[in-house]
A and B are shown apart, each in its own frame.
Chain A
Amino acid sequence: MTRILDPTLRATPPRAATGAARPALLSGATIGLLANGKTHGMAFLDRVAEHLRARHGVGELLRATKPNASAPAPADDAALLAKHCTAVVTAIGD
């Protein structure tokens, strides 16, 4: 028998991260809208926010747009969203 080595990272343990708890309710919650910078991303998120308002009565909206769709969100924006938002919606995949 010969072992053929796994070329993927599946056996590599991912970096430890704790998933955020599911919010108990969205009524009055501050929602983050993170557009990735691609065309119409924030316009799409604004429509999503309209639905969230109508169906779940969400509260304040916090908007951020990535300067580069290919890079992570700037650390300051990510920190701000994490600090103030109950949940964040991000878009758009083209």
Chain B
Amino acid sequence: MPATTHPGIDVDDAWQAIEACFAQKWTDGLPVVPPTEPLVERMLAAGPWRADEVLLHEPVRDRTVTAWHAAINAVMAGCKPEYFPVVGAALIAIGDPEFTLHGPATSTGGAALMVIVNGPVRERIGLHGGGNLFGPGIRANATIGRTLRLVLLNCLDCRPGVLDQSTQGWAGKYTLCFAEHEAASPWEPLHVSRGFRAGQSTVTVFAAESNHNVLVHAAREPETLLVAFADTMAALGSFSPGRSVIVFAPEHAQHLKRAGWSRARTQAWLYEHARRPLADLKRAGKIEAQFLVNPDTRRWLYGPESDRAERGPDAADAHARVLPGDERIFVHRGLGPDDMLLSVGGGAAGGHSAFFPAWSRGRSVPFVTKEVPGEVPA
């Protein structure tokens, strides 16, 4: 008889355990590492939290995830114990009240939970910021991101068709964690731009829809290079007042560095040029009826003059009627240059960067950055 009193299921061997986890619906569709008590204890011991310490409280469903349950899911994801401080920090980040996790976790929008890691922890645990950045093959990247999804599935009941009502979702929901390639960046590291010291390790989380590949191989000047980025950001399919993340490939980042473009200048240029005429948005069914009524969305569409903007016919389909002036009203993606994060990552060769639109057809949720606690001394 096993000595532990922790709830669980008893199995004869590892193979039975792997199959049992599937039968219990404890997985993300892929096999998990069966979490035995010694494995979970070892995982927990690698972080600074007590077993009963709350890492995440989701208030809409009133669910509390302690470090113990985080450790169980981290073992299942395949994390090494040394990854646990990053896992815990990421859970704390998505549990921040500003992130309002319930929305991105359950919406038809089907958001992935992106985790960008900065600071010395990247090298210490082998978090990858180079080639094949978003692809498979690196344990730390794969398993840290995976733990977040397992926590949502197992602890928050965000299962397909239950609380996860994603229409389609996307593959990033399995895992989406990477290190910023700080050495290849033209700017200060992302976390420094967000108020942290270079020597601190942090996670920055973002509710992300699927990315667009921004493919440019014949531009060197920023005002040529960034055209495709702005155009991609203004794509009708993902157009919204929401936020954005751009991950520049090192090859693209080099052009910005050589031209001396600052982070702020790059963001300002992208915001200014990522725009579409209101007429286009109406013709594409992107303008919902309430957008013309709600003061916040009116400000997004019409700017500071929204009070005086043409209201058009008082008809049920007013939002679909293209008015004569609509060709000259330009609507920007997001509400301002600060609505985007610029990061750098990927291999040294290749002009392939990424634009990630934020989850939701509205404002989405803010970016949240949290410090990764230092390792527990041996």
Interface residues of A (CB under 8 A from B): 1-12, 14-15, 39-40, 68-72, 93-94
Contact = CB atoms under 8 A, between A and B. Distances in A.
A39 B290 contact: yes
A4 B101 CA distance: 28
A70 B60 contact: yes
Nearest to A93: B165
A3 B20 CA distance: 11
B113 interface: no
Contact of A71 (B13, B62, B102): B102
Contact of A5 (B35, B60, B97, B102): B35
Interface of B: 1-2, 4, 6-13, 17, 20-21, 24, 26, 34-37, 40, 59-60, 62-65, 69, 72-73, 76, 97, 100-104, 107-108, 150, 154-155, 165, 288-290, 365
A90 to B, nearest CB: 12
Contacts, number: 96
A67 to B, nearest CB: 11
B1 A7 contact: no
8 contacts: A1-B1, A2-B12, A4-B34, A5-B36, A7-B76, A9-B64, A68-B103, A70-B101
Nearest to A36: B60
Contacts of B26: 6-8
Given A2-B36, A3-B9, A39-B288, A9 B20 contact: no
Nearest to B18: A4
Interface of A is mostly: loop
A80 B72 CA distance: 40
B78 to A, nearest CB: 13
B31 to A, nearest CB: 13
B100 A68 contact: yes
Nearest to A68: B100
Contacts of A71: 59-60, 97, 100, 102
Nearest to B35: A5
B35 A4 contact: yes
A2 B2 contact: yes
A94 B100 contact: no
Contacts of B102: 70-71
Nearest to B105: A70
Contacts of B97: 71
A9 B8 contact: no
A3 B155 contact: no
A58 B13 CA distance: 61
B60 A94 contact: no
Contact of B36 (A3, A11, A14, A94): A3
> Which of A4, A5, A6: most chain B Cβ within 10 A?
A4
Nearest to B68: A5
Contact of B108 (A9, A12, A94): A94
Nearest to B7: A11
A11 B7 CA distance: 7
Contacts of A93: 165
A14 B69 CA distance: 15
The 5 A-B residue pairs with the shortest CB-CB distance in the complex, in nearest-first order = A70-B103, A70-B100, A11-B7, A3-B2, A5-B8
